[in-house]
């Protein structure tokens, strides 16, 4: 009986967390994505246990060896084990992915909510800022910001966040704009609640869903930009192994030792694909009308 | 229509102004004293102040920006600190290399993605659709430079179909353009697909079908034409991505373009060059977006009302 009631409710919109998760887990793509992401997290967390060698240990006699039982993914020009370096590299990618997108989300949420909630001049100014920020392509802007900040893990995160906060701000603004005139916000205002309370307790929780979807789709972008920056020598600096920096040094040996370049790339494809699958499924389960 | 263009132009000026302010202040608020890059640390404070004055670096930032904009409007982007040449000259030497690559890549991307996107939409929820979208997903998930390296290894090195690096003939252009074209097409194919699906759901398609038109006519004459309109907007959206991709792929294929110039200048801390390249690339992208928007308005008379 409860089922019957639930289904009429569902027809309207069941965007509660529970309903969302149930629809999400029905999607094979989402499960597949989650499994890939889960495996990557295991790699990152248990890197010391999974890695077969010390990722930084040089072993010149066995340099540039093709994949074998001793070195699953081969070795680089210093005889370092690519498999172990790739496993440790997952730490950098995951760290950068989440840190960068976290900063980006908070920045975007801050500006977007102010613009949407207060409107007027503040809204126009912030909208202009968002438009300008989105006029730059992400990779290009991130490269330019690194030119100023210099390379390094945290700077890479900052550069990515500064070049991607615009999309978060735009979504947050739209959410706040449409929610601020809803009855429950009106009610809160009549009760005399402060703006801060209305924003954080009433509007924010209701505006999170599309932001969660965007977050899932921005993490893989951040991972690719990090790899690109590191590949150009502007990102993570040696000896810390990042997938991008492994490929950057592998590039010089591409024709004689392609494995140095192939495997980190495959890892990136996997993790990015995992997030994209999950993000797409999340978006579909949030708004089934979008599904095709 | 005129009002739309006027508003669009006003927005263009605003974005260009904003973008130059962002680029300019970013590179001038950078930590570290630019004088160090020009003379090195071992000079007397008097000399430093003289140089600071000579370069106008002792003036307020806003004044510096205005004089930067004044020179910019005269086509003067300052001088390279390292190469002692005008930045505009350095950019002019390489501009065409990047333009040629970006345009070819954009062309390839559309050539691949439009038929794939349409095919997937028409065969929605069949094996064909799933296979095409799975391919597109892999394409989206690949870093562009990695795909370039793989093409370089397989097509240029192993199969020897194309030269490994260099610049000059179409054979040098093909692999880099294909690299960006394919990765971009992966993203675009999804957009084309949903744009086509959007159209197929419209009432006039149902009308066309119910009045007994053959499916071929419904698709070619009614659906396709309308689906192509939003695809023009996608053209504008992709320009930025393609230019960004060119910058990176130029490094992979050792093409002497703006990307190469920019990365070299960053590593050498040659800020005026970085600033100049950013200004030129951003301007191109913003102008490209404008072009796509205008094209959109011209093709679709309904936009006038907006």
pLDDT in tens, A42-76: 999 999 999 888 888 888 888 888 898 888 898 88
Helix, strand, coil in percent for chain A, rounding step 5: 75, 0, 25
The Cα A155–Cα A226 span in angstroms is 10
Q: How far is B302 from chain A (nearest CA, A)?
A: 24
pLDDT > 90 fraction of chain B, expressed in percent and rounded: 31
Say if A136 is an interface residue toward chain B (CB within 8 Å).
yes
Domain count, chain A: 1
> For A134, what's the count of Cα atoms within 13 Å in the CB-facing half-sphere?
18
CB–CB of B97/B167 below 8 Å? yes
Task: Compare all CA atoms of chain A with the CA of B140 and give the residue at the minimum distance.
Answer: A273
Residues recorded for chain B: 306
List, in order, residues 6 or more apart from A213 with CB less than 8 Å away: A279, A282, A283, A286
Residues of B in contact with A143 (CB under 8 A): 247, 262-263, 266
**B141 at A interface, C-beta within 8 A:** yes
What would the pLDDT profile of A106-138 be if each residue is shown by its tens digit? 999 999 999 999 888 999 899 888 988 888 888
Chain B residues touching residue A138 (CB < 8 angstroms) = 244
Residues 6+ apart with CB under 8 A from B157: A254, A255, B164
CATH classification of the domain holding A157: 1.10.3720.10
**B1 vs B231, higher pLDDT:** B231
| Residue B297 contacts residue B303 (beta carbons within 8 Å) | yes
Query: What's the average model confidence in pLDDT over B24-50?
Result: 75
Predicted confidence at residue A1, as pLDDT, reads 36
B112 touches chain A (CB under 8 A): no
Cβ contacts below 8 Å, chain A against chain B, sum to 132
Tell me what pLDDT residue A14 has.
57
Could you tell me the pLDDT band of residue A4, with boundaries at 50, 70 and 90?
A: very low
Interface check for B201 against chain A (CB to CB < 8 A): the answer is no
What does the block give as tokens for B284?
Answer: 């191109």
Which residues in chain A have Cβ-Cβ distances shorter than 8 Å to B28? none
Mean pLDDT of A144-151: 88
Distance from CA of A97 to the nearest CA of B (A): 14
Residue A56, in any domain of the structure: no
Q: How far apart are CA B60 and CA A193, in angstroms?
A: 44
B140 — contact with chain A (CB < 8 Å)? yes
Helices (H), B123-154: 127-141, 144-151
Among A233, A234, A273, select the one facing B141 at the smallest CB separation.
Answer: A273
The count of residues in chain A is 292
Q: A127 lies in a domain? A: yes
Structure tokens at B132: 């095409």
Q: At what angle do helices B224-252 and B271-299 cross, to 10 degrees?
A: 170
Question: Helix (H, G, I), strand (E, B), or coil: what is residue B214?
Answer: coil
Per-residue pLDDT reduced to its tens digit, A253-263: 999 899 999 99
CA distance A134 to A165: 9
**Do the domain assignments include residue A33?**
yes
Rounded to whole angstroms, how far apart are CA atoms A284 and A21? 12
CA atoms within 13 A on the CB side of A265: 23
- In this prediction, residue A64 carries a pLDDT of 84
Facing B263 at nearest CB: one of A232, A254, A258: A232
SS3 B164: coil
Provide the token pair at B187: 């993203």
- Per the structure, the complete domain to which residue A177 belongs is given by 26-50+72-290
| Least reliable range by pLDDT among A143-147, A231-235, B61-65, B235-239 | B235-239
Residues 74-113 of A with CB under 8 A from B: none
Residue A7 binned pLDDT confidence (cut-offs 50, 70, 90): very low
pLDDT for position B154: 92
Shortest alpha-carbon distance between residue A185 and chain B (Å): 31
CB contact under 8 A, A138 and B244: yes
The pLDDT, as a whole number, for residue A276 is 94
Integer Cα distance of A205 and A128 in angstroms: 26
A284 or A142, which is more confident? A142
Sole residue written with tokens 């809803």: A182
pLDDT at B302: 67
pTM over 0.95: no
* Contact call for B11 and A146, based on CB within 8 A: no
Mean pLDDT of chain A: 87
CA–CA distance, B275 with B265 (Å, rounded to integer): 10
Q: How far is B19 from chain A (nearest CA, A)?
A: 6
Nearest Cβ partner of B146 from A128, A146, A268? A268
Q: Which of B97, B91, B95, B94 is nearest to B273 (CA)?
A: B91
Distance CA A259, CA A134 (A): 37
- What's the burial of B93, exposed, middle or buried (CB within 10 Å: 0-12/13-18/19+)? middle
Hey, is the C-beta of A201 within 8 angstroms of any chain B C-beta? no
Averaged pLDDT for residues A169-195 = 89
Confidence (pLDDT) at A209: 82
Q: Which residues of A135-167 are buried (b: 16+ CB within 10 A; e: fewer)?
A: bbbbbbbbbbbbbbbebbbebbbbbbbbbbbbb
Percent of chain B with pLDDT strictly greater than 70: 94
Q: B137-148 pLDDT, tens per residue?
A: 999 999 999 999
Per-residue tokens: B148: 């370039």
Band (pLDDT 50/70/90 cuts) for residue A12 is: very low
In Å, how far is A139's CA from the nearest CA of chain B? 6
ipTM over 0.85: yes
Q: Give pairs for A85-89: CB < 8 Å, separation 24+.
A: A85/A55, A85/A241, A85/A246, A86/A241, A86/A243, A86/A246, A86/A263, A86/A264, A86/A267, A87/A43, A87/A47, A87/A50, A87/A51, A87/A55, A88/A47, A88/A51, A88/A55, A88/A241, A89/A241, A89/A242, A89/A243, A89/A246, A89/A264, A89/A267
A158 inside 8 A of chain B by CB: no
Between CA B1 and CA B4 the distance in angstroms is: 5
User: Which of A144, A251, A276 is the closest to B141 by Cβ?
Assistant: A276
| % residues pLDDT > 90 (chain A) | 43
Q: Is the peptide bond before A239 cis (omega within 30 degrees of 0)?
A: yes
Which of A143, A147, A231 minimises the CB distance to B145? A231
Question: With 50 as the cut, is the pLDDT of residue A3 above it?
Answer: no
**Residue B272: predicted pLDDT:** 87
In the predicted model, what is the mean pLDDT of residues B246-272?
Answer: 89
Q: Is residue A285 part of a domain?
A: yes
Residue A108 placed within a domain: yes
In a domain, residue A141? The reply is yes
Residue A9's pLDDT is 43
Residue with tokens 């100049």: B276
The tokens for A221 are 């972008």
Distance (Å) of CA B15 to CA A46, A174, B287: 47, 21, 10
The answer to whether B244 faces chain A, any CB pair under 8 Å, is yes
**What's the whole-number mean pLDDT along residues B34-57?**
74
CB contact under 8 A, A265 and B141: no
Question: Of A85-99, A249-263, B235-249, which gets the smallest average pLDDT?
Answer: B235-249
Q: Is B182 part of the contact surface with chain A (CB cutoff 8 Å)?
A: no
Is A207 within a domain? yes
In a domain? residue A1? no
Q: Are A218 and A106 in contact (CB under 8 A)?
A: no
């Amino acid at each position: 009986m409860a089922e019957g009631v639930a289904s009429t409710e569902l027809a309207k919109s069941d965007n509660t967390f529970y309903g969302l998760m149930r629809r999400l887990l029905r999607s094979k793509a989402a499960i597949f994505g989650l499994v890939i992401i889960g495996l990557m997290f295991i790699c990152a967390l248990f890197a010391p246990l999974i890695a077969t060698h010390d990722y930084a240990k040089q072993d010149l006699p066995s340099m540039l060896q093709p994949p074998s039982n001793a070195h699953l993914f081969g070795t680089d020009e210093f005889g370092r084990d690519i498999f172990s370096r790739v496993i440790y590299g997952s730490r950098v990618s995951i760290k950068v992915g989440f840190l960068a997108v976290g900063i980006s989300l908070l920045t975007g949420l801050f500006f977007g909510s102010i613009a949407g909630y207060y409107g007027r001049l503040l809204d126009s100014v912030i909208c202009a800022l968002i438009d300008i920020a989105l006029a730059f392509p992400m990779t290009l802007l991130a490269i330019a910001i690194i030119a100023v900040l210099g390379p390094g893990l945290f700077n890479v995160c900052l550069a990515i966040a500064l070049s991607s906060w615009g999309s978060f701000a735009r979504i947050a603004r739209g959410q706040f704009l449409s929610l601020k005139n809803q009855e429950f916000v009106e009610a809160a205002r009549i009760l005399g609640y402060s703006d801060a309370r209305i924003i954080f307790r009433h509007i924010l929780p209701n505006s999170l869903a599309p932001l969660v979807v965007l977050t899932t789709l921005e993490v893989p972008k951040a991972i690719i930009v990090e790899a690109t920056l590191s590949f150009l020598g502007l990102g993570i600096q040696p000896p810390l192994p990042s997938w991008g920096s492994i490929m950057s040094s592998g590039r010089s040996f591409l024709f004689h030792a392609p494995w140095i370049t192939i495997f980190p790339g495959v890892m990136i494809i996997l993790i990015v694909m995992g997030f994209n699958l999950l993000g797409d499924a999340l978006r579909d389960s949030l708004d089934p009308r979008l599904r095709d | 229509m005129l009002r739309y263009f006027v508003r669009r132009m006003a927005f263009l000026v605003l974005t260009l102004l904003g973008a130059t302010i962002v680029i300019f202040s970013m590179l001038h608020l950078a930590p570290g004293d630019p004088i160090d890059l020009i003379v090195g640390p071992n000079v007397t404070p008097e000399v430093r102040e003289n140089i600071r004055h000579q370069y106008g670096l002792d003036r307020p930032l806003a004044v510096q920006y205005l004089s930067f904009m004044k020179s910019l409007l005269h086509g003067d982007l300052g001088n390279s600190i390292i190469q002692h040449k005008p930045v505009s000259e350095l950019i002019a030497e390489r501009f065409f290399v990047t333009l040629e690559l970006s345009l070819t890549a954009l062309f390839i991307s559309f050539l691949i993605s439009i038929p794939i996107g349409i095919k997937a939409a028409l065969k929605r929820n069949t094996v064909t659709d799933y296979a095409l979208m799975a391919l597109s997903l892999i394409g989206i998930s690949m870093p562009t430079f990695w795909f370039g390296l793989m093409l370089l290894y397989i097509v240029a090195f192993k199969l020897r179909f194309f030269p490994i690096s260099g610049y000059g003939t179409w054979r040098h252009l093909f692999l880099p353009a294909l690299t960006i074209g394919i990765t971009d097409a992966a993203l675009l194919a999804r957009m084309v697909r949903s744009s086509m699906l959007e159209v197929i759901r419209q009432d006039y398609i149902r009308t066309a079908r119910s009045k007994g038109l053959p499916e071929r006519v419904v698709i070619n004459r009614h659906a396709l034409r309308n689906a192509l309109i939003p695809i023009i907007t996608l053209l504008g959206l992709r320009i930025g991505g393609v230019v960004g991709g060119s910058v990176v792929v130029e490094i992979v294929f050792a093409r002497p373009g703006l990307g190469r110039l920019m990365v070299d200048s960053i590593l050498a801390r040659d800020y005026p060059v970085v600033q100049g390249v950013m200004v030129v690339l951003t301007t191109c992208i913003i102008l490209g977006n404008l072009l796509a928007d205008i094209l959109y308005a011209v093709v679709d008379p309904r936009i006038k009302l907006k």
